Structure 1
Amino acid sequence: HSHLFASYFPFPPFSFSLLSLFLSKKKKIRKKGKKKKWEMQELPDCLYEGKQPTLITPTSPTPNHSLYLSNLDDHHFLRFSIKYVYLFHKSIPSLSLKDSLSRVLVDYYPFAGRIKVSDDQSKLEVDCNGEGAVFAEAFMDITCQDFLHISPKPNKSWRKLMFKVQAPSFLDIPPLVIQVTHLRGGGMILCTAINHCLCDGIGTSQFLHAWAHAANTNAHLPIRPFHSRHVLDPRHTPRVTHSHPGFTRAATTVEKSSTFDICKYLQSQPLTPATLTFTPSLILRLKKTCFPSLKCTTFEALAAHTWRSWARSLDLPLTMLVKLLFSVNVRKRLSPELPQGYYGNGFVLACAESNVQDLVNGNIHHAVKLIQEAKARITDDYVRSTIDLLEDKTVKTDVSCGLVISQWAKLGLEDLDLGGGKPMYMGPLTSDIYCLFLPVAGNCDAIRVQVSLPEDVVKRLEYYMVKFLDEKNNKE
């Protein structure tokens, strides 16, 4: 079905469209045992030539100092790398990419440094020593179209696209690792691993577009990064003035052991990625289920719908309290606002919570209102309270009984042009239990929802995600 509708909607054929899923659900499959399933194939191995990888250092001297990381940067929930996969139709010579990367690292010099633990062992910081970013290059014997059709969703074989740095711990891995894989027929796959402690999604997009700017021109960067994090220092006397339901203290996890831990349950079994594409027309139909009594944004409607469908698909106890954690950009919510180009994590996790019965048995209005209220709570004082709360190193993000949604759409990630045109595909290297709202290459108004769940749960999730299309009260 996705091939059938490719000519009508500009999303890639391998990105499973909601409309095609809806139509397939409407068909009664009499011979279930004979239903064909598209078997995913593994990608072939990468071929590395010569000494790999190389270290790309800034073209000119950069500040040599220790860069303080804020409490929004270095808490444990962000101790991982954001890994992107880009597929380009046209390959760019590696020498050109290395040269432009070397030039952009002058401004983004912390990426050429190394993460270390502070002298008092209380925080992480960046040793800005100019050691260099990791750059690997390889060849894979497939074409661009092969990649789209052989392996349409993230799977273990995608890990071949990112050079594995041998390091004793995550903190020892350089904050920026890049692999460029050239393909048969002239295509190219770009993989980037960017340490989340250094920046958020907005920051990754800012850096990648700065690299593209350097690749296409010698002009100065339109936005220069502002590296100092001291604008987000905790107060001299920490004051936690708000409740923060998205966090828990390590000491309380034992007390909560009687509560069903969704996160542990999901991570204890094999997971399958669910990928559903919402075209602009489908997003409008979803938002119409809220109008006219409730006005909402695309994110609010889609997040509410995904949260409800996720809770339904897991068949959770009706009395259970479930949470939705989602990132909110605070750059313009602070007083004063963060400086333009602020280069650090400039978001906090908002938290909406509801018992399962109210969430799944009511209409979408309930969930949308909870999300809107959670967003409205993110004020300057709330952010300062969060920063002060994180001075207590026993505080952790509570993912035990909720869904986490990260917004990658609307960041301009899909517009990256390193000199050979915009990507044919953009997405994450891996899929996890955390839900991503992804951009769709070639359709800036579409959103791809991706989350990993056990296979039987994925089928139920897909059913509930399209059910609104068949509801009688959803009039076009």
Structure 2
Amino acid sequence: MAGINIISSELVRPSEATPHGPFWLSNLDLGVRSGYSPMIYLFRPLGVGCPADFFSADILRTALSRALVPFYPLAGRLGMAPDGRLEIDCSGQGAVFVVARSDAVLEDLEGFAPSKAMCDMFVPPYEEVVGASGKPLLLLQVTFLHGGGVVLGTGMHHYALDGRSSFHFMQTWSSLARGAAGDTVPPFLDRSPLRARSPPVILFDHFHEYCRNGAGSATGAARPSDLAGAILRVTSAQAAALRARTGESLFRSLVAHIWRCALTARALPSDAESRLYTVVDMRARLSPPLPSAYFGNAGVRTSVSAKVGDVLASPLKFGAQRLRMATGQGDEYARSLVDYLETAADASSKPGRELPDTDLRVISWMGMASHDANFGWGEPAGVAPAAVSYTWFVYSVGDSGDVAVAVAMKPDQLERFKELFFHENEMAW
């Protein structure tokens, strides 16, 4: 791995006065895994005649300060209410902003695999920040590469926001940097629509998705640090072929294929029970719906199960139709889950990171504005997780219609999975 040289590290505060005090976290916020979601954005140099201010740290810093005004919770710190419940302390202390240089070249990074080494190199660790009384919620690092490319690494604390909200913040920051303030949409900060009911009404079984002592802590499960990562690119033509085989959405079709390939690569017995976990964005499914600019976590965990033999022996549409059962949940399910998390003990209301080989966890960023991060020097050439805590991320690559799948598996299973994933008899290209 190439070397890194930190030029500066500072806290960037909102450019104007912002509300101070506690900011409530909903049960859906506290029901996610604890920690940061590290991302990497790769930017190509503009070529001959590249402007001297290409990815100017000063422009980025000024725009960040302005973006933290509407997104002021991100300038706060993770705190705790008197009753012991976690919350955001809107202290205005600022976001971590690091400027660095590396002898790496962009071409060496374009095909990178998510890993701890990539995360450590391009996303600042919060432990190194001086003067922060609690955990900062936003970590940013701009790394200038040898030859003119740039890596923008981001770490946003998952308690504060989900994927859709994080991309909304990136849209705002980049719009302000390129002088397009009129393109920004303010975040919807009111999280009260996700308060639990009194008394709680639990209509569904949420045990598998949210109990530490459930499927997520099976003996022999691999820890995230033990997994090897890869990013697999599916062309629009390949994606269309998959959809034609299932008659379902692209996400469900891809996940059905991932499910089959993973179970085969793991050589599991046919009578074993496999559980497939996913997360459904409830913004548009609640009654009344949340605004699309809702800032926070609006995803609920769902799952379905099937015998390994049934998944492998059935047509591809079998897995896609099973997944539809998990992704078809609406308002009643979400309200039931919020109430369940209100009544569950802390120790049992968190999803485990570790899964047994029989199970998979797949997250979708499809339809999200992952590439809408033009700071004035063009859209990113690549966007991907810097490290993968979940087993699979499925997300759109850009305007091409291609889709990327970020994979994390045990090293001895990953190569077999990749062979199956692109095998012509499996994908029917």
Fold similarity call, TM over 0.5: yes
**Pairing of 1:61-100 with structure 2 (within 5 A):** 61-75=17-31, 77-90=32-45, 91-100=54-63
Decide whether aligned partners of structure 1 residues 431 and 318 sit closer, same or farther in structure 2, where only a CA change above 3 A counts: same
How far apart in 2 are the matches of 1:267 and 1:236?
38
Decide whether aligned partners of structure 1 residues 143 and 134 sit closer, same or farther in structure 2, where only a CA change above 3 A counts: same
Q: Describe the SS at the equivalent of 2:401.
A: strand
The residue aligned with 1:154 is: 114
User: What letter matches 2:206 in structure 1?
Assistant: H
Which residue of the other structure, out of 178, 186, 198, is the alignment partner of 1:236? Answer: 198
How far apart in 2 are the matches of 1:243 and 1:147?
43
Determine whether 1:417 maps to 2:377.
no
Query: Unmatched 5+ residue regions in structure 2?
Result: 46-53
The residue aligned with 2:263 is: 311
Query: Unmatched 5+ residue regions in structure 1?
Result: 1-41
The residue aligned with 2:151 is: 189
Decide whether aligned partners of structure 1 residues 326 and 444 sit closer, same or farther in structure 2, where only a CA change above 3 A counts: farther
The residue aligned with 2:349 is: 395
How far apart in 2 are the matches of 1:268 and 1:130?
33
The residue aligned with 2:51 is: none
Give the C-alpha shift of residue 268 in structure 1.
8.5
The residue aligned with 2:67 is: 104
On the 8 A contact 2:78/2:134 being kept in 1, the answer is yes
The residue aligned with 1:119 is: 82
Determine whether 1:288 maps to 2:248.
no
Q: Which moved more, 1:221-230 or 1:239-248?
A: 239-248
How far apart in 2 are the matches of 1:137 and 1:110?
23
Determine whether 1:47 maps to 2:1.
no
The residue aligned with 1:370 is: 322
Q: Which string of whole-angstrom CA distances, capped at 9 and with x for unpartnered residues, describes residues 188-246 of structure 1? A: 11001011111111101100000011112263453211112111000011111112254
How far apart in 1 are the matches of 2:106 and 2:426?
39
On the 8 A contact 2:236/2:400 being kept in 1, the answer is no
Number of residue pairs matched by the alignment: 412
Q: Describe the SS at the equivalent of 1:390.
A: helix
Q: Describe the SS at the equivalent of 1:414.
A: coil
How far apart in 1 are the matches of 2:266 and 2:209?
23
User: What letter matches 1:45 in structure 2?
Assistant: G
On the 8 A contact 1:433/1:453 being kept in 2, the answer is no
Q: Describe the SS at the equivalent of 1:397.
A: coil
How far apart in 2 are the matches of 1:147 and 1:371?
34
The residue aligned with 2:412 is: 456
On the 8 A contact 1:115/1:171 being kept in 2, the answer is no
Q: Which string of whole-angstrom CA distances, capped at 9 and with x for unpartnered residues, describes residues 409-447 of structure 1? A: 331212310111011111111134521113325x54111
How far apart in 2 are the matches of 1:249 and 1:167?
33
Which residue of the other structure, out of 294, 298, 308, is the alignment partner of 1:356? Answer: 308
Q: Describe the SS at the equivalent of 1:353.
A: strand
User: What letter matches 1:226 in structure 2?
Assistant: F
TM-score (norm: length of structure 1): 0.81
The residue aligned with 1:211 is: 173
Give the C-alpha shift of residue 141 in structure 1.
1.7
Determine whether 1:56 maps to 2:16.
no
User: What letter matches 2:309 in structure 1?
Assistant: Q
User: What letter matches 1:84 in structure 2?
Assistant: M
User: What letter matches 2:365 in structure 1?
Assistant: W
Which residue of the other structure, out of 136, 139, 164, is the alignment partner of 1:174? Answer: 136
**Pairing of 1:375-390 with structure 2 (within 5 A):** 375-376=327-328, 378-390=329-341
Decide whether aligned partners of structure 1 residues 222 and 432 sit closer, same or farther in structure 2, where only a CA change above 3 A counts: closer
User: What letter matches 1:223 in structure 2?
Assistant: V
The residue aligned with 1:32 is: none
Q: Which moved more, 1:409-418 or 1:230-239?
A: 409-418
How far apart in 1 are the matches of 2:292 and 2:364?
21
On the 8 A contact 1:246/1:325 being kept in 2, the answer is no
On the 8 A contact 2:265/2:417 being kept in 1, the answer is yes
Determine whether 1:336 maps to 2:294.
no
How far apart in 2 are the matches of 1:248 and 1:341?
26
User: What letter matches 2:337 in structure 1?
Assistant: T
Determine whether 1:470 maps to 2:425.
yes
Q: Which string of whole-angstrom CA distances, capped at 9 and with x for unpartnered residues, describes residues 239-297 of structure 1? A: 111122542544x55xx8xx9937x432298432233211011111112222xxxx310
- Report percent identity of matched pairs: 27
How far apart in 2 are the matches of 1:365 and 1:235?
38
On the 8 A contact 1:114/1:172 being kept in 2, the answer is yes
Decide whether aligned partners of structure 1 residues 48 and 397 sit closer, same or farther in structure 2, where only a CA change above 3 A counts: closer
Decide whether aligned partners of structure 1 residues 141 and 461 sit closer, same or farther in structure 2, where only a CA change above 3 A counts: same
Q: Which has the larger radius of gyration?
A: 1
User: What letter matches 1:387 in structure 2?
Assistant: V
How far apart in 1 are the matches of 2:138 and 2:272?
41
User: What letter matches 2:163 in structure 1?
Assistant: G
The residue aligned with 2:50 is: none
User: What letter matches 2:143 in structure 1?
Assistant: T
How far apart in 1 are the matches of 2:385 and 2:73?
23
Q: Describe the SS at the equivalent of 2:222.
A: helix
On the 8 A contact 1:405/1:435 being kept in 2, the answer is yes
- Indicate the RMSD between aligned Cα atoms, in angstroms: 2.4
How far apart in 2 are the matches of 1:47 and 1:147?
17
